[in-house]
Amino acid sequence: MAPILYIVIPCYNEEAVLPITAPQFLEKLRQLTAAGKIAEESRVLFVNDGSRDRTWEIISELAASDEHYLGISQSRNRGHQNAVLAGLMEAKDCCDITISIDCDGQDDINAMDAMVDEYLSGSEVVYGVRDNRDTDTAFKRATAQGFYKVLAAMGAEVVYNHADYRLISARVLQEFAKFEEVNLFLRGMVPLVGFKSSSVYYKRAERLAGESHYPLRKMLALAIDGITSLSVKPLHLITTFGVFVAFLSFVGVLWALIAQLTGHTVAGWASTTCIVCFVSGVQLICLGILGEYIGKIYMEVKRRPRYIISERTWEE
Ligand code: UDP
Ligand code: MG
């Protein structure tokens, strides 16, 4: 039997682009259904992430116009990752497979055919991977690629150039639901669940309308979140660095002692100042990194709900 597919789409202040892309998603659903790859009960599920513009009104209108559109609304803006998670958790009990994709038309919806094919031939997770970044600005390209490299160097397992366009089966989502952490970095967490996975390559286009919500500031925050919620390597680095600095200090002390004993001492204001500055700098960096983890522990022990659905376009 053909699987039921839910396309999960996070939307934050997307009134400009939603009317353009929503019909495209529906058309894709129709094509896949006509080709017999997915079941007629498949749906397009929008997740409104506390938008301040007309996004939720548009989603409600879409849902009223065609039963294939569904919408849920988060009670406030919680960020892209939480919105995707809300949609996936909502979908997992009513479908066999989900595909998460942004609503701005940047990710090629035609890659969905290949994703479903991969699922039908046994993959439980299929990553959408961009094979070029020609449409991104040179700056975005450089920062984004640096982002993946730093993540990999820090020991967070991520698929290179894969964002949040991916197929996940309901079976994997049932397991994923057991990951209770609140610091979400989905593209690093999904590989942790395991199961057979594969990749599908596509060209990334330009945003069809509206503006990006991921300026450099948010990308940096996402990178730091990704590293500190997936890897304890920075903690190990502190230890290594600490040992190195301790060794240097030992050599320094030896040198000072020998200088003292051989009577070559000068009033060393400069060197003392340098050492004090250096050591306090190092300490501050280390404290900062420790703080990152303590902040995470603090958030985790609260066990707050990771998303709250306030409305649905259907009755429960
Ligand atoms: N998004 C969201 N909540 C946010 C920010 C963004 O749900 O707080 C959604 C947004 O509507 C879009 C997707 O996440 O569907 C990716 O955002 P965007 O296209 O702005 O990022 P970029 O592609 O520029 O990295
Ligand atoms: Mg985008």
The tens digit of pLDDT for each residue in 215-243 reads: 778 878 888 888 887 777 777 777 777 77
CATH match of 5-213+305-312 with 3.40.1360.10: no
Tell me the domain boundaries of the chain. Answer: 5-213+305-312, 233-302
- Parallel, antiparallel or unpaired: strands 162-169 and 125-130: antiparallel
Provide the pLDDT for residue 188: 86
Would the CB of 213 count as within 6 Å of ligand 1? yes
**181 CA distance to ligand 1 centroid (A)?**
21
User: Quick check: CB of 222 below 6 Å from ligand 1?
Assistant: no
Q: State the residue for tokens 């989502």.
A: 173
Q: Which residues contact 60 (CB under 8 A, 6 or more apart)?
A: 71, 313
| Structure tokens, 239 | 């230890």
Least confident of 68-82, 225-239, 264-278: 264-278
What pLDDT is stored for residue 274 in this prediction? 66
Which CA distances in Å does 201 have to 21, 104, 111, 163?
Answer: 21, 18, 7, 12
- Tens of pLDDT along 83-132? 999 999 999 999 999 999 999 988 999 999 999 999 999 999 999 998 87
CA distance 107 to 194: 24
12 lines ligand 1 (CB under 6 A): yes
CB 38 within 8 A of CB 129: no
Helices (H), strands (E): how many in the chain?
10, 8
Q: What phi and psi, each to the nearest 5 degrees, are found at residue 138?
A: -55, -35
Expressed in angstroms and rounded, the spacing between residue 302 Cα and the centre of ligand 2 is: 31
Strand ranges, E, within 107-252:
125-130, 162-169, 197-202
Q: Is the CB of 77 under 6 A from ligand 1?
A: yes
**pLDDT value, residue 304:** 67
Rounded to an integer, the average pLDDT of 19-40 is: 94
Q: Which percentage of the chain shows pLDDT scores above 90? A: 43
- Asked which of 44-48, 110-114, 147-151, 162-166 is least confident by mean pLDDT, the reply is 147-151
Asked if the model's pLDDT at residue 249 lies above 90, the reply is no
Band (270; pLDDT cuts 50, 70, 90): low
Q: Mapping DSSP to helix (H, G, I), strand (E, B) and coil, where does residue 69 land?
A: strand
Which residue has a Cα nearest atom 25 of ligand 1? 214
Q: Which single residue is written with the structure tokens 């594969």? A: 198
What whole-number distance in Å separates Cα of residue 38 and Cα of residue 169?
13
Whether the CB-CB separation of 63 and 69 falls below 8 Å is answered with yes
Quick one: pLDDT band at residue 263, thresholds 50, 70, 90? confident
Task: Report which bound ligand comes closest to the CA of 17.
Answer: 1
CA distances (Å), 176 to each of 116, 164, 189, in order?
20, 15, 8
- Taking Cα atoms as reference points, which of 13, 17, 23 lies closest to residue 44? 23
Is the beta carbon of 136 within 6 A of some atom in ligand 1? no
Half-sphere exposure of 136 (CA within 13 A, CB side): 20
User: Environment class of residue 296 by beta-carbon count within 10 Å: exposed (0-12), middle (13-18) or buried (19+)?
Assistant: middle
**Residue 87, ligand 1, Cβ within 6 A:** no
CA distance 11 to 210: 12
Decide if 103 contacts 9 (C-beta within 8 A): yes
User: E strands within 24-145?
Assistant: 43-48, 69-74, 97-100, 125-130
Calculate mean pLDDT across residues 32-50.
Answer: 94
Ligand 1 atom 6: residue of nearest CA = 80
CB-ligand 1 contact for 210 (6 Å cutoff): no
Query: DSSP labels for 258-301?
Result: HHHHTT-----HHHHHHHHHHHHHHHHHHHHHHHHHHHHHHHHH
Work out the mean pLDDT of the chain and round it to a whole number. 86
